[in-house]
Amino acid sequence: MKVGIDLIHFATSDYFLGLDTFASQKNIDVEKFTIGIGQEKMSIAPPDEDVVTLAAKAAKAILDQVDPQKITAVLFATESGVDQSKSAGAFLHGLLNLPKRCRVIELKHACYAGAAALQMATALVKSNVKEKILVIAADIAKYDVDSSGEATQGCGAVAMLVKDSPRILALESGSGYYTDDVMDFWRPNHRETALVDGKYSTMVYLNSLKHAWTHFNEETGRTFQDIDYFCYHIPFTKMAEKAHKTLIKKTKSEVSDAQFEEQLSYGQSYNRIVGNSYSASLFIGFCSLLDFAKQNLVNKRVSFFSYGSGCVAEFFSGVIQPEYQSVLMTASHQQQILQRQALSYAEYLNFYHGSDLSQENCILPEHNRGSFRLAAIEEHKRIYIAR
């Protein structure tokens, strides 16, 4: 039985900060960002946008095409959770009127949890073909102002319908994984922003890739040459280039510049202008490959490297299915990106400092133009509205 991604759609916020604006504010050469880390823009979430509203925007386009009453589980991956107890998935379940006969859970391990949710959903469908699972990966990447990470912020959510006979990607069994208890990036419970040892985190990422690859290769027998397209976790696009070079060296592969470009570049277009979206970023990269590849991808093998700081990593693969082009939501992705509004640095700071959500009661100013927004906090309860 084939199991995998039947539909995929991503959402981001209505606003962005250009790294040109950022560079002139900080008096830094813009090429440090456009060339050095390979980023142009960062999606910025206003205070009335959070992972629940982003996820609802991403999932709505899928639920418009399938019977929502058939969804049997929601697996919500995020490291920007909105409540220490109640899962973000339960808020989403309510906003989208999903059936009561449904299991909902939130998964966390930094940027890795989306891949974990996808693997778990696949296993559930393999054990019961009636399962139709909504996998969500949604995050808002937020670092301290004036920290090294500030230029690598962003936000986004990906929704994937995982079922049997998938029309986009059949996941292949066997994967390589790797865990190490390290402190390269973390966010203690009392903090809204992440702490990071930037250079160290890039080293741990690449080291984890080598270990996960070795395990993948041993488990599946698949080699570098068996893979047509490579999707990596993308905190910034230059990181994926470093990863691909590392894998080429590790596998002693011969790859021309044109092949390198073909294997990697389609999967980077959205991430370059959305920024980091932590758990969603690997799958926004996959959407980018699907939407921008010039060649027909049918029967092509795509690999996925998921890296979550702290750290857990996994390398796995899937094969693109014959009908994939007929179910892509490219127009929706591109329209969202096009309609984003540019922020000045002062406007970005205004969103950044936002409203104090720790108050017992507050009403949030309306900036989020999407179908779902966080409207208020009432007696410490989050009040979402759909419109």
User: What residue ranges bind ligand CAA (CB under 6 A)?
Assistant: 29, 31-32, 35-37, 111, 148-149, 151-152, 185, 196, 198-199, 201-202, 205, 233, 235-236, 239, 276, 278, 307, 309
Other beta carbons within 10 angstroms of residue 257's beta carbon come to 7
SS (H, E, C) 109-167: ECECHHHHHHHHHHHHHHHCCCCCEEEEEEEEECECCCCHHHHHCEEEEEEEEEEECCC
Residue 276 known to bind ligand: yes
Question: Of residues 9, 111, 155, 367, which has the active-site annotation?
Answer: 111
Least spacing, CB of residue 90 vs ligand CAA, in Å: 26
Least spacing, CB of residue 114 vs ligand CAA, in Å: 12
Q: Which two tokens stand for residue 147?
A: 């920290």
Other beta carbons within 10 angstroms of residue 351's beta carbon come to 19
- What is the DSSP track for 315-360? EEEEEE-TTGGGG--HHHHHHHHHTPEE--HHHHHHHHH---TTSS
Q: Which residue's structure tokens are 């179908």?
A: 371
Alpha-carbon gap, residue 302 to 89, rounded angstroms: 28
Residue closer to ligand CAA, measured from CB, 81 or 370? 81
Residue closer to ligand CAA, measured from CB, 22 or 229? 22
Give residues with Cβ within 8 angstroms of 278, minimum separation 6. 78, 79, 80, 110, 111, 139, 141
Least spacing, CB of residue 111 vs ligand CAA, in Å: 5
- H helix or E strand, kind and range, residue 24: helix 19-26
- The CA radius of gyration of the chain, in Å to the nearest whole number, is 20
Residue 180 known to bind ligand: no
Among this protein's residues, is 111 annotated catalytic?
yes
- What is the DSSP track for 63-96? HTTS-GGG--EEEEE-SS-S-SSS-HHHHHHHHT
Least spacing, CB of residue 185 vs ligand CAA, in Å: 5
Among this protein's residues, is 172 annotated catalytic?
no
Residue closer to ligand CAA, measured from CB, 126 or 211? 211
CB 371 within 8 A of CB 386: yes
Least spacing, CB of residue 124 vs ligand CAA, in Å: 27
Positive/negative CA dihedral, 176, 182, 188, 194: negative
Residue of minimal Cβ distance to ligand CAA: 36
Residue 266 known to bind ligand: no
Alpha-carbon gap, residue 266 to 30, rounded angstroms: 23
Question: Of residues 233, 244, 333, 367, which has the active-site annotation?
Answer: 233
Residue closer to ligand CAA, measured from CB, 122 or 237? 237
Q: Which residue's structure tokens are 């990596």?
A: 232
Residue 238 known to bind ligand: no
Least spacing, CB of residue 286 vs ligand CAA, in Å: 16
CB 266 within 8 A of CB 237: no
Residue closer to ligand CAA, measured from CB, 207 or 325? 207
Least spacing, CB of residue 39 vs ligand CAA, in Å: 9
Q: Which residues are catalytic?
A: 79, 111, 233
Which residues fall in the annotated binding site? Answer: 29, 143, 242, 276
Which residues fall in the annotated binding site for (3S)-3-hydroxy-3-methylglutaryl-CoA? Answer: 29, 143, 242, 276
